[in-house]
Structure 1
Amino acid sequence: MTELHLQTITELYEFMRKPAPTHPLFAISQVRDTDGDTRNCSTNPIAITSHFYTISLKKIVSGELFYGRSKYDCQNGSILLTAPGQRIVFDKLVVSSNATHISFDKEFLTGHQLATDISKYQFFSYSVNEALHISEKEERLVNAVLNTMHTEYTNSYDSLSKGILLSHLQTLLQYIERFYRRQFLYRQEMSGNMYDRFKNVLVKRYSAGQLEEIGLPSVSSLAGQLGISPGYLSDSLKIETGKSALEHIHLHLIDVAKELLLAPDKTVADIAYNLGFEYPQYFSRLFKKMLGMTPSEYRNNHTLQ
């Protein structure tokens, strides 16, 4: 398999056999074909790792696209987002000739609110099989923003160009966040309650009694058991319950701890180790943060009742 490590957007355009981008830190390209033709992205497997952000609106016709061990769910009208350092594998991929691709380096965001906000958009870290699938109406809305951005990008670059492009980019990301929220709710209706699935995995992890050996359950490990990415899990739970995956882990941990503290034969340190904490003081700190009292104070209060 061919491995490509693209450090710059210019290297990406060289690989795609396109003219060098107008700006080295930001580029947008569009392909429009009214005949509905397709084009091959790869005839042999190829893995690409880039050091910049990408946003692609395309329609997958055939072939396979992987992120890690996750296979892309091929549907029409899909937005695929990647963050720096992510590895994407293409295998005999055929896409519609109508496509838009945006690439931008984090340095391009300097001086704009997006430089801070970009880390809040967790969908850049979603696995490929969690790409955003949009309706025809949503696609028209996204294309309106993309077309405006493309027009601005192809104009002569001046002192206002960067600010205008970033404003449109921010609008695009806000639309994407809205559409992902819709997708979370739709998938919840189709495949069941995400919280119930998550809670089932979490309870089984604690019931197995192996936390002292394997440590505290992490969002990453639980998401792996559910076959989704950590960011997607947390965002789904946030939409569904108002709390993140980590908050739910802490809440369940405290509930289990409260029961164990009622057993007089276990010290606070023993309970901390049983729950997977490497250091008992970390357990005590979290317990006090959640309940406003130390584990010992909780035990004493409930022993006296």
Structure 2
Amino acid sequence: MPMRKRLNHTSSSNAGAMVTVSVPRPAAQCRPRVLAFHPELLHGTPLAQSMRDYTYFSYNANEALHLSAGERQTIIGCMEKIRGELQSPVFDKHSRSLIVDNVKLLLDYCIRFYDRQFTTREKMNNDIIARFEALLDDYFRSGKPATEGLPTVQYCADKLCLSSNYLSDLMKRISGESAKRHIRRKVLETAIGLVTDTARPVSEIAYRLGFQYPQHFSRWFKQQTGCTPREYRVQL
């Protein structure tokens, strides 16, 4: 049975932030490891340009990665290589690039392990997607778009007690589309339903869906379907 470790921790990606770790008892069986590096380490490297791709830095603590024994050894191996370079008596022109390469390797492994975690938590993920769908259905049925605008990824994530990045990454891995794209598709489905199943004026539908001006709604609807709401209604 694979061993899994988890530490309760509080952290922030802001510069100068404090990271606290609460070690579960018995403490003798737990040896926390932390990799911390200054942004200057990455200046001028390809990794600096791709850091935004590591979206898990913005995950909540309850969305932490749970490592198997093998995965844990892989991460420790990366950290030991970095430690070896830092403690080497020889710091030459290759040292910085080797450190950065191993930092990137560690971050890439975390993406792989998160992919595994998303895949193995099928029941939990399906429950989140079902709650996401129900949340959007309730939002549009309640008429909130008319007063509060269209739902955002952040709004939905807050209601689901998730970080926005975690919700988006989960949706991409499970459904193949981002949370933002999923919301847009839901808006279109709702718009088509109102256009085809009701006799409401287009202006009323536009306001009901949170569009400030009917012409903006008509333009958006045509971009999505190839025809205006009135044309769509007539051709049915």
The answer for the alignment partner of 1:299 in structure 2 is: 230
1:250/1:59 Cα in 2 relative to 1: closer, same or farther (>3 Å)? closer
1:65/1:164 Cα in 2 relative to 1: closer, same or farther (>3 Å)? closer
1:164/1:66 Cα in 2 relative to 1: closer, same or farther (>3 Å)? closer
Q: Report deviation, 1:205.
A: 1.1
The answer for the alignment partner of 2:201 in structure 1 is: 266
1:130/1:301 Cα in 2 relative to 1: closer, same or farther (>3 Å)? closer
Q: Report deviation, 1:226.
A: 1.0
Kept in 2, the 8 Å contact 1:65–1:88? The answer is: no
Q: What's the Cα RMSD here?
A: 2.6
1:250/1:160 Cα in 2 relative to 1: closer, same or farther (>3 Å)? same
Kept in 2, the 8 Å contact 1:215–1:276? The answer is: yes
| Aligned counterpart in structure 2 of residue 99 of structure 1, from 10, 32, 38 | 32
Q: Report deviation, 1:285.
A: 5.0
Q: Which structure shows the bigger proportion of residues in strand conformation?
A: 1
Q: Report deviation, 1:243.
A: 0.4
1:159/1:277 Cα in 2 relative to 1: closer, same or farther (>3 Å)? farther
Between Structure 1 and Structure 2, how many residues are aligned? Answer: 226
Q: How does 1:109-188 map to 2 (within 5 A)?
A: 109-155=42-88, 156-188=90-122
Structure 1 gaps of 5+ residues are: 1-57, 68-81
1:90/1:109 Cα in 2 relative to 1: closer, same or farther (>3 Å)? closer
Q: Report deviation, 1:187.
A: 2.6
- Report the Cα distance in structure 1 between the residues aligned to 2:122 and 2:18, rounded to whole angstroms: 27
% identical equivalent positions: 32
Q: Report the TM-score when normalising by structure 1.
A: 0.66
1:189/1:242 Cα in 2 relative to 1: closer, same or farther (>3 Å)? same
Q: How does 1:168-247 map to 2 (within 5 A)?
A: 168-190=102-124, 192-247=126-181
Kept in 2, the 8 Å contact 1:194–1:237? The answer is: no
Q: Deviations over 1:144-172 (max 9, x none)?
A: 11111110122233222221111111111
| Comparing 103-112 and 236-245, the one that deviates more | 103-112
1:89/1:119 Cα in 2 relative to 1: closer, same or farther (>3 Å)? closer
Q: Report deviation, 1:251.
A: 0.2
Q: Report the TM-score when normalising by structure 2.
A: 0.83
Kept in 1, the 8 Å contact 2:221–2:229? The answer is: no
- Report the Cα distance in structure 1 between the residues aligned to 2:33 and 2:200, rounded to whole angstroms: 64
Q: Report deviation, 1:282.
A: 4.9
Structure 2 gaps of 5+ residues are: none
Q: Determine which structure has greater relative contact order: mean sequence separation of CA pairs < 8 Å that are 6+ residues apart, divided by chain length.
A: 2
Q: Which structure shows the bigger proportion of residues in helix conformation?
A: 2
Kept in 1, the 8 Å contact 2:54–2:111? The answer is: yes
1:194/1:103 Cα in 2 relative to 1: closer, same or farther (>3 Å)? same
Q: Report deviation, 1:137.
A: 0.9
Secondary structure (helix, strand or coil) at the match of 2:33 reads: strand
| Comparing 247-256 and 109-118, the one that deviates more | 109-118
Kept in 2, the 8 Å contact 1:125–1:231? The answer is: yes
Q: Report deviation, 1:109.
A: 1.6
Q: Deviations over 1:29-75 (max 9, x none)?
A: xxxxxxxxxxxxxxxxxxxxxxxxxxxxx863xxx6456xxxxxxxx
| One-letter amino acid of the counterpart of residue 300, structure 1 | E
Kept in 1, the 8 Å contact 2:191–2:205? The answer is: yes
